[in-house]
Structure 1
């Protein structure tokens, strides 16, 4: 995949012109907005995980959940919260670094911003692969369960 990328003899050849800077500013603004919304969602998930740890969800609304399952549910919410925090953080740092790079012409900040965007997409890609694997596993388990049920 990387063989198709242009090879620069001198890395200084890569210059951000005014049109690119305008597009980067727009992307940076949206990234900052989305990251702030993600941070708010992260805070809400963290509070929900604390509530699940503190108050057993099996006591809510006469549900069929096993007693003590709140710890498991709270742990799942806490794990999702940590992953979501890092996604939010990488997107936010992308927006902050790109803003500094455009305003000050700071090449190090530009590189750091692009690196944070890379981390965001790497983590998102890994999570997508894991989710697709879980979906395939659940489909297989569902088909096995259905076959076992129909053979009775």
Structure 2
């Protein structure tokens, strides 16, 4: 019986977006747009740098430089996703809040979720890579140099 009463109480409470929450979300969307644009600019610089490195490596035939160019190119592609999620969040959230369209607002929040999910997975991968580097350094004796 208690469970039924709790369900009725939960169903009767609706989520409300107050003016304060709306203003905070609109401000967040503006900052998200700014960060996305800056991120796209720096990602573009990284992409240009990777292409310059690759062209230089191909003409000189310097192998390690080719590897570095490909790593930069992969990082360029990977770093496009946070900017994409941020710009989608900003646009859809602003549009949804200003026009009271639930579907637009939902899409914006969905992209915010995707951004955090991406950043979480990216962080886990980086931690794994660091652990592998430290293990490799310890096993090869490189760690003794420091």
Using structure 1 for the length normalisation, give the TM-score.
0.80
- 1:16/1:140 Cα in 2 relative to 1: closer, same or farther (>3 Å)? same
1:31 matched residue in structure 2: 32
Give the conservation status (yes or no) of the 8 Å contact 1:52–1:70. yes
Which deviates further from its counterpart, 88-97 or 49-58? 49-58
Where does 1:58-73 land on structure 2 (aligned, <5 Å)? 67-73=62-68
Give the conservation status (yes or no) of the 8 Å contact 1:58–1:69. no
Shift of 1:49: 1.3
Shift of 1:15: 2.3
1:62 matched residue in structure 2: none
1:50 matched residue in structure 2: 51
Relative to its length, the structure with more helix (as a share) is 2
2:107 matched residue in structure 1: 112
Shift of 1:146: 2.7
CA distance in 2: counterparts of 1:92 and 1:122, whole angstroms: 16
For structure 1, the residue ranges without an aligned partner over 5 or more in a row are: 1-6, 60-65
For structure 2, the residue ranges without an aligned partner over 5 or more in a row are: 1-6
Give the conservation status (yes or no) of the 8 Å contact 2:29–2:90. yes
Q: What secondary structure, in the 3-state scheme, does the structure 1 residue paired with 2:81 have?
A: helix
The Cα offsets for residues 14-37 of structure 1, whole Å up to 9 and x where unpaired, read as: 221101001101111111110100
Give the conservation status (yes or no) of the 8 Å contact 1:57–1:69. no
* Count of residue correspondences: 137
Give the conservation status (yes or no) of the 8 Å contact 1:87–1:120. yes
The Cα offsets for residues 88-113 of structure 1, whole Å up to 9 and x where unpaired, read as: 00011101111101110110011000
Shift of 1:72: 1.9
Where does 1:133-148 land on structure 2 (aligned, <5 Å)? 133-146=128-141
Q: What secondary structure, in the 3-state scheme, does the structure 2 residue paired with 1:14 have?
A: coil
CA distance in 1: counterparts of 2:41 and 2:25, whole angstroms: 24
Structure 1 residue ranges, 4+ long, deviating more than 6 angstroms after superposition: 147-150
Using structure 2 for the length normalisation, give the TM-score.
0.83
